[in-house]
Structure 1
């Protein structure tokens, strides 16, 4: 079983050293009710690749290119098509969008990336650094990161109901003041 994205390496919930059947999908351990996220996420493509490799994941040229394209995006939120185009340019070859989707799923399994659905405009992907949520304008596409600290009461709500959230991100979809 793999380490779930909400569990820092070495924590009691870290199960990345457990055996895994090749090709099998892991089922993450239930998350704690705490939303603290104090461990340092990988910030370079090499660190992302090493995290995957240490979990027994085979690193292919396309996977490395997707990691590099995601890191080069910085804090930008990119859609899968954009990520595929950027990664394809890095390997000087066409990468199928399905390869990008599978790799993004793999990165999410290891806590290295997050995707979020933004209403009618599809999904965006970004590196998993500080946990945050999103405000998304459905007219112009602008996406604003909202730190967890600005969403008062969510952590208290989870603890009060003894509920562990599997999803640590969401988007509030609406319109910018300019487009009201």
Structure 2
């Protein structure tokens, strides 16, 4: 947590909570878990700390569908595939996305901010289920 910022107990607890999670957490979920260990840490502290940790390049947030922001440790090696039907999140290695990102840059002069980028659609299971049900 020291990438230019002070190492505080609340920052450390928030980073550990995110690192130990199975998946992505909302600020409310982080606050609830951290509050168990540090009762003085409230939701506004968590939001301020998450903003600071994003500025320090320790964590990132992403929106899946129209949902609230969820947080994860910064990791440039993957992007997110989000199923809008079952809400499952799958990680897509960046190299598999490289050709598409290069096409956006070359054809449209558009550079994607990969930190907040999720591809929304339907997963294989939901598509198969819909096909089986006739829709």
TM-score category, normalised to shorter length:
0.7 to 0.9
- Match of residue 78 from structure 2: 132
2:82–2:89 CA contact under 8 A, matched in 1: yes
Q: 1:142 aligns with which of 88, 104, 107?
A: 88
Structure 1 residues 112 and 135: CA distance shift in structure 2, 3 A: same
Q: Which protein is richer in strand relative to its size?
A: 2
Q: TM-score, normalised by structure 1?
A: 0.59
1:131–1:168 CA contact under 8 A, matched in 2: no
2:27–2:71 CA contact under 8 A, matched in 1: yes
1:82 pairs with 2:29: yes
Quote how far apart the aligned CAs of 1:116 are.
0.5
2:105–2:111 CA contact under 8 A, matched in 1: no
1:118 pairs with 2:70: no
Q: Secondary structure at the match of 1:50?
A: coil
RMSD of aligned alpha carbons = 2.6
Q: 1:103 aligns with which of 49, 59, 64?
A: 49
Question: Partners of 1:173 and 1:166 in 2: how far apart?
Answer: 15
Q: Secondary structure at the match of 2:57?
A: coil
Consecutive unaligned residues in structure 2, runs of 5 or more: 131-135
Quote how far apart the aligned CAs of 1:126 are.
0.8
- Residue by residue over 1:55-85, the C-alpha shift from the partner in whole angstroms, topping out at 9 and shown as x without a partner, is 1x23333222111211222x62222221111
Structure 1 residues 109 and 163: CA distance shift in structure 2, 3 A: farther
Structure 1 residues 174 and 160: CA distance shift in structure 2, 3 A: closer
How many residue pairs get matched? 126
